[in-house]
Amino acid sequence: MTRNLLKNPSGEEQLEFWELTENGGSQWKVEDMPGDCGFEFCNNDVTKYFVTSFELCLKRQLIDLLAEGYSCEQLDAEPTVTVEDWYCGRTDCGCTYNMTTSLLDESHEVIEEFKPEMVTLEPECDDDCSWKRVSHTFSEYGPGLRFISFEHGGKDTRFWDGWFGVRVTGSSVTVDV
């Protein structure tokens, strides 16, 4: 059975377990669904989300796969690694969303990386700024996987003081051995 290796993926424990790699503006915050000018989420079990500010906010978790109980043999067999994230904007302010997931070797060198193009959501231009899912599955990347770095975030596009940037929740990283 696969399990989510990210701890606190939806903010139930505020910012616990996350390294704040960029914490600009009013900084990261956790809010309750659906929030001001927000959208309902597709899973009623997810009741919170992380929200960014008017300057770039990025947060990261580094997953040590050996510490999570995987063996070198299991990891060198190139198990599939699936990453998923959910993001949305507000009905009154635009935002940007960034995500980078890296498979790393024992020296933290990148084996393979998933970094989709930055997304910009503008409520007056986009028909739908509601929750969107992004996912990717790594396979056939070679031996040596020992760590996974997951980082995401963004900011608002109008530089409004407060928490008007992208909202993220329901993140997951799974390894299927």
* pLDDT tens sequence across 69-98: 999 999 999 999 999 999 999 999 999 999
Q: How far is CA 58 from CA 125, 131, 149, 152, in A?
A: 25, 19, 13, 5
User: Residues 153-162: pLDDT tens digits?
Assistant: 999 999 888 8
Residue 151: which of 107, 106, 104, 105 has the closest Cα? 104
Task: Spell out the domains of the chain, with CATH numbers in brackets.
Answer: 19-176 (2.60.120.260)
Q: Cα angle at 118 between 47 and 16, to 5 degrees?
A: 35
* The model's pTM: 0.94
Average pLDDT of span 100-115: 98
Share of the chain above pLDDT 90, in %: 81
Residue 93: which of 22, 31, 155, 27 has the closest Cα? 155
| pLDDT for position 33 | 93
Q: How far apart are CA 95 and CA 14, in angstroms?
A: 21
User: Residues 60-70: pLDDT tens digits?
Assistant: 999 999 999 99
Q: How far apart are CA 80 and CA 83, in angstroms?
A: 10
| pLDDT for position 1 | 63
Q: What is the mean pLDDT of the chain?
A: 94
| pLDDT for position 82 | 98
Q: How confident is the model at residue 126 (pLDDT cuts 50, 70, 90)?
A: low
Residue 151: which of 88, 99, 89, 80 has the closest Cα? 99
Residue 23 has pLDDT above 90, yes or no: no
